[in-house]
Amino acid sequence: MREVGEEISRIQSVVLRSQQPDGSWRFCLESSPTTDAHMIILLRTLGIDDEQLMDGLTARITALQHENGAWKLYPDEAEGNLSTTVDCYYALLLSRRYEKNVPRMARARAFIRSKGGLGEANLLTKFATALAGQYKWPAHFLVPVEIALLPPRSPISFYDFVGYARVHLAPMMIVADRKYVKATADTPDLSDLHVNPSVAPGVYPHRMMERFMRDGQNFLAAIHEHVVRLPFLPGLLHELSLRRLEQFMLARVEADGTLYNYSTSTFFMIFALLARGYSPRDPLIVKAMSGLRESLYETAQGPHLQLATSAVWDTALLSHALQQSGLPASHPAIQRANRYLLQKQQHTFGDWKIRNPAGTPGGWGFSHYNTMNPDIDDTTAALRALRSQSRLDKTAAAAWKRGLDWLLSMQNDDGGWPAFEKNTDSLLISSLPIEGADTVSTDPSSVDLTGRTLEFLGRYAGYKESDAPVQKAIRWLLAHQEKDGSWYGRWGIAYLYGTWAALTGMMAVGVSPDHPAVQKAVDWLTRQQNADGGWGESCHSDEKKTYVPLGASTPSQTAWALDALIAVHSRPTPAIERGVAYLSRQSLATDWTTSYPTGGGRPGGTYFAYHSYRWIWPLIALSHYQRKYVSAS
């Protein structure tokens, strides 16, 4: 098909023009305006006079407000998101750009109150407002600081939480323990956001108290049982715990000053340092703010503080996609990209070592400044990109082998792969009465990571269905297929993502296309195709844990579904041809579907619009179509 070749060329041109001088690609990782609100809070709290940046941040926030006064996590979210609206309302008042009586603020306030007020907001929002004295700290935070003293091998420890949860919890535990408040002359009065002032507000919603009495008390008792055995005087334990948490944070500060390169954890770290007595002008805080500034991305509406930067992820995926589309490893753009990736391979031990003592470093992380938190997805992405070069270059070959060894060492005992840390799936931690504990506190095996790892092992590392790690992974995948034939994906939206990962993974290692599970998945995928030939799934799926169609098609989700069908079928089917026709014109589209968030973060709380995705996944799917059906004919 001529249209396929033309679309591949168009996407190649866009991608090649956007490569940075250092060989990387740095597209925006867009999430909700909560991070922009955080930047406003920090600027005012620290007394940093940057009104130009303040103008840009407030311009972006106001541009994203809806007619009913609310802000949303994704376009089709019903009415709006309470917590995001509270964050934006608070930040706009704090910015000194808006007063409460302005219509847009009145509409936001009315929306907040109609949804139950500040007391129904999520934990991060309650912490942010408690730090300003606008929400009551609880008498005791559910996770006591003493847990920091327990060794990682203890029956219960701080390391039962996954790394990205730990770097948020550590500073939050410090400020909650100190009941720290840092109000300024600009801090607005948010008392009118409390719908029922007669009920004393606290960090935990009332609906969680029953779970607290059951699971929370057991958790606290387990911690107490082990803490009392520590060889310290009781009076020293508390201060020692706080010092340990402080040391934990500082040991994980990256070269740019941020904590694990997450803007949200860095936000709370700055307040934790203030609570520990650091000056607002301390070099650590100054450097952290500098790192946050580096994470700003200029969007059409104004600067956006990215929750994380995605340079390594984008670069690995785009280098691989360009090679799939026909560019050789010797192409200058591929050479530059791969030099960048080789520089970003990690050679030091991170927290992953605790549960994987036999592993040796060799993985890749997500962000440009990520040096200690490698993950499975970025590692397989980098290894795909480097595969061709590793056959020609000894340095690349050695790096590729180290990466493969680390990847294999990270397989969970149940046969699947986690995102960051091996066998970090404590039932006690995931059942804690903290919102999101079941989805973001631990790091169990996931379909998407397991499927993508199988796809890499089969297509690029020579593994087959008969190999032991592959057998374990396939058994795990088959056991986690949904009744309707789909699979749920943790880090993308959601059933289209998981089903694509599972199918492409199983096909790569030699599972038969006639396998009943495969055929059931293909039938499900085909039934979800839209009339325009594409596929689209709502972020509602991720919240409800059941498939919810978007009612429109998106480039990345169409590419995932199409790529899965291509992997299964030896010849193009009508569904494949309609999908190809849709993707063959997607690079010319400019509507909301091209920027719909299809990346997962925190179910019901964080979704990502990867600005790179509209190019990466269509380029890969179309290239696979052309290679399998056109070039081979």
Return d(Cα 606, Cα 600) in angstroms, integer: 7
Q: What is the DSSP letter of 137?
A: P
Question: Beta 606-610 vs 303-305: how paired, if at all?
Answer: unpaired
Q: Which residues are catalytic?
A: 377
The predicted pLDDT at position 294 comes to: 98
Q: DSSP string of 10-37?
A: HHHHHHHHT--TTS-----EE--THHHH
Residue 451, Cβ neighbours under 10 Å: how many? 30
Over the stretch 41-54, which tens digit does the pLDDT of each residue have?
A: 999 999 999 999 99
- pTM comes to 0.95
| Sequence-ordered list of residues with C-beta below 8 angstroms from that of 201, at least 6 positions apart, any chain | 118, 119, 135, 136, 194
The predicted pLDDT at position 282 comes to: 98
Return d(Cα 187, Cα 96) in angstroms, integer: 10
The predicted pLDDT at position 230 comes to: 64
Nearest CA-CA partner of 92 in 64, 126, 68, 115: 64
Question: Beta 599-602 vs 296-298: how paired, if at all?
Answer: unpaired
Q: Sort 520 into a burial class: Cβ within 10 Å, 0-12 / 13-18 / 19+.
A: middle
Q: From the first residue on, what is the mean pLDDT of each consecutive set of 10 residues in the chain (633 residues)?
A: 91 98 98 98 97 98 98 96 98 97 97 97 96 92 87 88 96 96 95 76 50 52 62 74 97 98 98 98 98 97 98 98 97 98 97 97 97 98 98 96 98 98 91 77 97 98 98 98 98 98 98 98 98 98 96 98 98 97 90 96 95 98 96 69
The predicted pLDDT at position 434 comes to: 74
> Angle of helix 34-45 relative to helix 51-63, nearest 10 degrees?
150
Query: 3-class DSSP state for residue 516?
Result: helix
Residue 469, Cβ neighbours under 10 Å: how many? 17
With b for 16 or more beta-carbon neighbours within 10 A and e for fewer, the 189-206 pattern comes to ebeebbbeeeeebbbbbe
With b for 16 or more beta-carbon neighbours within 10 A and e for fewer, the 154-180 pattern comes to bebbbbbbbbbbbbbbbbbbbbbbbeb
> Quick one: residue 481, left, alpha or beta (phi over 0 = left, psi -120 to 50 = alpha)?
beta
The predicted pLDDT at position 57 comes to: 98
SS (H, E, C) 146-173: HHHHCCCCCCCCHHHCCHHHHHHHHHHH
- The Cα-based distances of 92 to 36, 266, 464 in angstroms read 10, 21, 56
Return d(Cα 392, Cα 559) in angstroms, integer: 31
Return d(Cα 618, Cα 112) in angstroms, integer: 39
Q: Decide if 252 contacts 268 (C-beta within 8 A).
A: no
Rounded to the nearest integer, the mean pLDDT of the chain is 93
The predicted pLDDT at position 226 comes to: 59
Q: Decide if 257 contacts 283 (C-beta within 8 A).
A: no
219, 225, 226, 228: CA torsion to nearest 10: 130
At 230, the amino acid letter reads: L
> Quick one: residue 303, left, alpha or beta (phi over 0 = left, psi -120 to 50 = alpha)?
beta
Return d(Cα 280, Cα 633) in angstroms, integer: 66
Over the stretch 500-542, which tens digit does the pLDDT of each residue have?
A: 999 999 999 999 999 999 999 999 999 999 999 999 999 999 9
**Rg of the chain in Å (alpha carbons):** 24
The predicted pLDDT at position 233 comes to: 53
Instruction: Name the helix (H) or strand (E) containing 419.
Output: none
Residue 456: both structure tokens together: 């890499």
| Sequence-ordered list of residues with C-beta below 8 angstroms from that of 339, at least 6 positions apart, any chain | 23
